[in-house]
Amino acid sequence: MRFRKPIVALSAAGLLALAACGGGDGGSSNNGGEKVDRETLGNVGSGQDPEREGPVEIEGAQEGGIATVYTQVGLTTSIDPSDLYYTDTSAIGSGLLFRSLTQYDRDPETGQMVLIPDLATDLGTPNEDFTEWTFEIRDGVRWETGEEVTAEDVAYGIIRSMDNKTFPGGPGLYFSNPYFLGGDKYKGPFTSGTTEQEAVSVDGNKVIIKMSKPFPDFPYYGSFPAMGPIPEGEDDPDEYALRPMSTGPYKIKEYTPAKTLVLERNTEWDPATDPGRTQYPDGYEFKAGVQIDQIDQIMLGDKGEGQTSMTYEDISAQTYRTMQNEAPDRVVTGTSPCTYYYAPDYRKIKDIKIREALMWALPYNDLMVTGGYIPEVNAFPASQLMAPGVAGRVDIDLFGHGEFETDPDKAKQLLEESGNLGYEIKFPWRTDNDINTKSKDVLIKALEAAGFKATPVATTEAKFEGDIIDNPDSEVNVRSGMGWCQDWPSGSTWIPPVFQSVDIKELGQFGTNYAAFNEPEVDQKINEVFELPAEEQADAWGKLEEEIMTKYLPIIPYFHSGVVVAHGSKIQGYEIDNNLGMPAYKDIWISE
Amino acid sequence: MAGYIVRRLLSAALVVVLTSMFVFALFFLGPANAARPLCDLNGRCNPEKLALLTEQLGLNDSVVNQYGIWAKGLVSDREIVFGPTFHCDAPCLGISYSTRGEVTTELFDRFPATISVAIGGGALYLVIGVVLGVVAAARRGTVVDRGLVAASLVIYSIPFYVVALVAWIFFSLEWGIFPDTTYHPISEGVGPWFWGLLLPWLVLGFTNSTTYARYTRGQMVETLGEDYIRTATAKGVRRSKVLFKHALRAAIVPVITLFGLDFAYLLTGTIFLEQIFQIDGIGRWAIEALRDPIDFPVVSATVLVGAIVIVVANLLVDIFYSFIDPRVRLA
Amino acid sequence: MAITPAALEEGVVADATGAEPVAGKSPTQIALRRLRKDKVAMFCAFLVLVMTVLAILAPVITGAMNIYWDVSHPDAPTGSEVLDVYGFPIIGPPFNGFTWEHPLGLAPRTGSDNLAYLLYGLRTSMIVAFSAAVLSTFIGVVIGLVSGFSRGWVDRVLSFITDMFLSFPSLLAMLALAPIIVSHFGGNLDLLGTVQFVTLIVILVIFGWMSLARLIRGQVLSLREREFIQAAEVIGVPTRQILFKELLPNLIAPIVITLSLNLPAFVALEAGLSFLGLGLSDIPSLGKMVSDARTYYSDYPLFLWVPVAAIGVLTLALNLLGDSVRDAFDPRTRR
Q: Are A16 and A503 in contact (CB under 8 A)?
A: no
Identify the burial level of A417 via C-beta atoms within 10 angstroms of its C-beta, where 0-12 means exposed, 13-18 middle and 19 or more buried. Answer: exposed
CA B329, chain centre distance (Å): 27
Burial class (CB in 10 A: 0-12, 13-18, 19+), A494: buried
Is B35 a residue whose pLDDT tops 90?
Answer: no
Q: Does some domain include residue B303?
A: no
Domain A337-561 has CATH 3.40.50.2000: no
pTM: 0.85
Nearest CA distance, C78 vs chain B (angstrom): 30
Nearest CA distance, A476 vs chain C (angstrom)? 13
Instruction: Tell me the pLDDT band of B325, cut-offs 50, 70 and 90.
Output: low
State how far Cα C92 lies from the chain centre: 33
Cα separation values, A202 from A151, A159, A183, Å = 7, 12, 17
What average pLDDT score do residues B150-160 get? 82
User: Strand order in A47-48's β-sheet?
Assistant: A47-48, A113-117, A102-106
**Average pLDDT for chain A:** 86
State the DSSP H helix or E strand holding residue A577, giving kind and residue range, or none if neither. Answer: strand A576-577
Measured distance CA(A564)–CA(A333) in Å, rounded: 4
Within 487-526 of A, beta carbons closer than 8 Å to B belong to 508-509
3-state secondary structure B17-39: HHHHHHHHHHHHCCCCCCCHHHH
pLDDT of A19 > 70? The answer is no
**Alpha-helix runs per DSSP H in A266-377:** 292-301, 317-326, 352-361, 364-371
Instruction: Render the burial of A499-530: b for 16+ CB within 10 Å, e for the rest.
Output: bbbbebeeeebbbbbbbbbbbeebeebbeebb
Instruction: Judge contact between A87 and A580, C-beta under 8 A.
Output: yes
Q: What is the CATH number that goes with domain A52-288+565-590?
A: 3.40.190.10
Q: What is the mean pLDDT of residues C227-248?
A: 85
With beta carbons less than 8 A apart as the criterion, state whether C204 and C132 touch: yes
Task: Report whether the peptide linkage leading into residue C94 is cis, meaning its omega lies within 30 degrees of zero.
Answer: yes
Q: Does residue B319 fall inside a structural domain?
A: no
Instruction: Give the model's confidence band at B42: pLDDT under 50 very low, under 70 low, under 90 confident, else very high.
Output: low
Q: How far is CA C33 from CA C27, C29, C250, in A?
A: 10, 6, 18
Please, which pLDDT band fits residue A268 given cuts at 50, 70 and 90?
very high
Q: How far is CA B285 from CA A259, A290, A501, B289, in A?
A: 12, 12, 44, 6
Residue C224, classified by CB atoms within 10 Å of its CB into exposed (0-12), middle (13-18) or buried (19+), is middle
Residue A8 has pLDDT above 60, yes or no: no
User: Cα–Cα distance between C274 and C252 in angstroms, integer?
Assistant: 33
Evaluate whether A93 touches A79 at the Cβ level (below 8 Å): yes
| CATH 3.40.190.10 residue ranges for chain A | 52-288+565-590
Asked if B42 and B93 sit in the same domain, the reply is yes
Amino acid of residue C111: G
Chain C environment of B306 (Cβ under 8 Å): 168-169, 172
Q: Are B157 and B240 in contact (CB under 8 A)?
A: no
For range B226-246, the mean pLDDT: 81
Range of the domain at B17: 2-103
**Minimal CA separation from C109 to chain A, in Å:** 5
Collapsing DSSP to helix, strand or coil, C109 comes out as coil
Secondary structure element (H or E) that encloses residue A409, with its range: helix A408-417
Amino acid at A278: T
Average of per-residue pLDDT across A550-569: 94
Q: What is the spatial distance between Cα A214 and Cα A207, in angstroms, rounded to a whole number?
A: 18
C-alpha span between A373 and C231 (Å, rounded): 77
Domain assignment of residue B97, yes or no? yes
Angle between helical axes of B282-290 and B263-276 (0-180°, round to 10): 70
C-alpha distances (whole Å) from C232 to each of A86, A258, B195, C149 are 78, 67, 65, 14
Find out whether C250 and C16 touch, Cβ atoms under 8 Å.
Answer: yes
Give tens-digit pLDDT for A320-361: 999 999 999 999 999 888 899 999 999 999 999 999 999 999
Its ipTM equals 0.82
Q: How far apart are CA C25 and CA C22, in angstroms?
A: 6
Return the residue of B nearest to C290 by Cα: B162
Of the partner residues A289, A301, A467, the one whose CB lies closest to the CB of residue B288:
A289
Give the confidence band of B253 by pLDDT, cuts at 50, 70, 90.
confident
A256–B291 CB contact, under 8 Å: no
Q: Report the alpha-carbon distance of residue A228 to residue A81 in Å, rounded.
A: 8
Which residues in chain B have Cβ-Cβ distances shorter than 8 Å to C319? 153, 156-157
Q: Indicate whether A385 pLDDT > 90.
A: yes
CATH code of B222's domain: 1.10.3720.10
Helix or strand holding residue A262 (H, E): strand A260-265
B43-57, B225-239, C211-225: which is most confident: C211-225
Write the pLDDT tens digit of every residue in A473-493: 889 999 987 888 888 778 888
Integer Cα distance of A488 and C99 in angstroms:
52
Backbone torsions φ then ψ of A373, nearest 5 degrees: -80, 155
| Contact of B99 with B56, CB cutoff 8 Å | no
CB within 8 Å: B291 and A303: no
Number of inter-chain CB pairs under 8 A, A vs C = 89
Chain B residue with CA closest to C270: the answer is: B159
The order of strands in the sheet holding A250-256 is: A250-256, A260-265, A283-287, A66-70, A309-311
Q: Has residue A209 got a pLDDT over 50? A: yes
In terms of CA atoms, which chain B residue is nearest residue C298? B174
Chains that touch B (3 or more CB pairs under 8 A): A, C
Give A398's DSSP letter.
-
With 70 as the cut, is the pLDDT of residue A454 above it?
Answer: yes
Give A459's strand partners.
A430
The rounded percent of chain A whose pLDDT value lies above 70 is 92
Q: What is the pLDDT of residues B74-96, one digit of tens each?
A: 888 888 887 777 888 878 888 88
What is the pLDDT, as a whole number, of residue A362? 96
| Distance (Å, whole) CA A120 – CA A106 | 19
- Residue B306 domain-assigned (yes or no): no
Which run of H or of E encompasses A335? strand A331-344
- To the nearest 10 degrees (0 to 180), the angle between helices C301-329 and C27-37 is 130
Residues in chain A, overall count: 592
Encode pLDDT of C55-93 as tens digits.
999 999 999 999 999 888 989 998 888 999 899 999 988
Helix, strand, coil shares of chain C, percent, nearest 5, are 70, 0, 30
Residue C279, classed as helix, strand or coil, is coil
Closest by CA position to A50, among listed A248, A223, A180, A206: A223
Point out the residue among B46, B99, B180 whose CB comes nearest to the CB of A257: B99
CA angle A111–A116–A117, rounded 5-degree value? 160
Cα separation, A36 vs B322, in Å, equals 73
User: B75 and B173 share a domain?
Assistant: no
Enumerate the residues of chain B whose CB falls inside 8 A of the CB of residue A258.
Answer: 98-99
Residue B213 in this model has a pLDDT that exceeds 90: no
Q: What's at C196, amino acid-wise? A: Q
Cβ atoms of A172 and A226 within 8 Å: the answer is yes
Distance from CA of A78 to the nearest CA of B (A): 9
CB C99, CB C91: distance < 8 Å:
yes
**pLDDT tens-digit map of C116-165:** 999 999 999 999 999 999 999 999 999 998 888 887 889 989 988 888 88
C41-333 has CATH 2.60.120.10 classification: no
* Total domain count, chain B: 2
How do residues C272-328 score in pLDDT, each as one tens digit?
Answer: 988 887 767 788 999 999 988 988 988 899 999 999 999 999 999 998 898 888 888
A398 pLDDT higher than 70: yes
Residue C176: what pLDDT?
76
**B37: closest chain A residue by CA:** A462
Of the residues B69, B103, B137, which one is the last residue of a structural domain?
Answer: B103
Residue C23 sits at the chain A interface (C-beta within 8 Å) = no
Burial class (CB in 10 A: 0-12, 13-18, 19+), A409: exposed
- Nearest by CB to B291, which of A303, A432, A509? A432
Beta strands in chain B (DSSP E): 78-81, 85-88
pLDDT at C151: 75
Flag whether B31 is in a domain: yes
What single string gives the DSSP state of each residue in C155-215? HHHHHHHHHHHHTS-HHHHHHHHHHHHHHHHTT-HHHHHHHHHHHHHHHHHHTTSHHHHHH
Q: Is the preceding omega at residue A55 within 30 degrees of 0, hence cis? A: yes
DSSP letters spanning C224-268: HTSHHHHHHHHTT--HHHIIIIIIGGGGHHHHHHHHHHHHHHHHH
CB atoms within 10 A of CB B154: 14
- Report which of B230, B215, B231, B224 is spatially closest to residue B249, judged by C-alpha positions: B224
What residues does CATH 3.10.105.10 cover in chain A? 337-561
Helix (H/G/I), strand (E/B), else coil: B133:
helix
Q: Per the CB < 8 Å rule, is B258 touching C6?
A: yes
Domain final position from B88, B103, B118: B103
Domain boundaries, chain C: 41-333
CA distances from A318 to A314, A369, A558 (A): 11, 10, 22
pLDDT of residue A46: 60
Distance of alpha carbon A250 from the chain centroid = 23
For the cut 50, the answer to whether the pLDDT of residue C34 exceeds it is: yes
Nearest-Cα distance to chain A for C168, in Å, is 26
Angle of helix C170-185 versus helix B282-290 axis, rounded to 10: 0
- Closest residue to C85, CB basis, from A297, A317, A456: A317
Instruction: Provide the pLDDT for residue A119.
Output: 96
Interface test with C, best of B14, B111, B158, B308 (most C CBs within 10 A): B158
Residue A14 has pLDDT above 50, yes or no: no
Residues B169 and B191 in one domain: yes
